[in-house]
Chains A and B, each alone.
Chain A
Amino acid sequence: MTVFYLVAFLAIFFALMTIFTKNPVHSVLYLVITFFTLTIHYILLNAQFLAVVNFIVYMGAIMVLFLFVLMLLNLNKESEPMKSNFVKIMGAIAGMCLIATLLGAFRVIEPNNQMVVGNEEVGLVKNLGKVLFKEFLLPFEISSILLLTAMVGAVLLAKKDVKKV
């Protein structure tokens, strides 16, 4: 139980560091740590498959992609565009208003203090695979088409135009 609060605190702290650090490379590294804490959350929820996928796909693939692009563009602290202080304060206030609204909304709905106790069977690959390939077969196939489209689109967009150069 205390593990949850410790990891939640760490996740919030590193998420804040992600958006407030000036250097973009540090920002990406903090985001990686945030995702790592979320992986610990998945393990606490008994969602083992999701924890592994989060670890490999998010931290391994997506964040490395971000890091590659940042280093390819050679961005650092000096070239980092910053908004004026006024816009920053307004943005922070808007975010606080969002949190306040959400928390107020949760107070109105009936207080639900039942414990989340993860079922050991639900998060395993065997069980998830059965659900994925029986009830969600069509979305699964469509998502494969989506990934193919994204791959073709990414290559097409990032490729240099041969005729112009």
Chain B
Amino acid sequence: MENIVQNIQGVPLNHYIIFCSIIFAIGVIGVLIRRNVIIIMMSIELMLNAVNLLLAAFSAYRGDASGQVFVFFVMALAAAEVAVGLAIIIMVYRNTKSVDIETLSKLRW
């Protein structure tokens, strides 16, 4: 049984770092190429999750529980952010009938 667990888990730390940076970069690309505000918020969630996974990986690597507690806080923060962000999106949609982020460019003036 121990052997199976070792086989499942033995992954170098570097591979976790690379994997999480790829996911993070995908989130950045999503923010850059989409115009739908909701998809942009989803890309932000993707980035948050990449960081969460990396924190958990470091926590498991060091055998320290603090990293996992941090992930817990990030999740609480993400929930709050999504609630407020989606409320703002609904309000904007009610006023402009669009979720296109370009319609918000009039906020410059």
Contacts and interface: CB of A to CB of B under 8 A. Distances in A.
Interface of A: 1, 3-4, 8, 11-12, 15-16, 18-19, 24, 27-28, 31, 34-35, 38, 41-42, 44-47, 49-50, 53-54, 57-58, 61-62, 65-66, 69-70, 72-73, 75, 80-83, 87-88, 90-92, 94-96, 98-99, 102-103, 106, 111-119, 122-123, 127-128, 131-132, 135-136, 139-140, 143, 146-147, 149-151, 153-158, 160
Contacts of B42: 18, 27-28, 31, 66
Contact of A3 (B8, B12, B17, B49): B8
A116 B82 contact: no
Interface range on chain B (Cβ under 8 Å from partner): 35 or more
What's the dominant secondary structure at chain B's contact region?
helix
Interface of B: 6-19, 21-30, 32-36, 38-39, 41-43, 45-46, 49, 52-53, 56-57, 59-61, 63-66, 68-69, 71-73, 75-84, 86-91, 93-94, 98-102
Contacts of B60: 45-47, 116-119, 122-123
A72 to B, nearest CB: 7
Contacts, number: 248
Contacts of A82: 35
B57 A128 contact: no
Contacts of A34: 46, 49
B12 A115 contact: yes
Contacts of A53: 72, 75
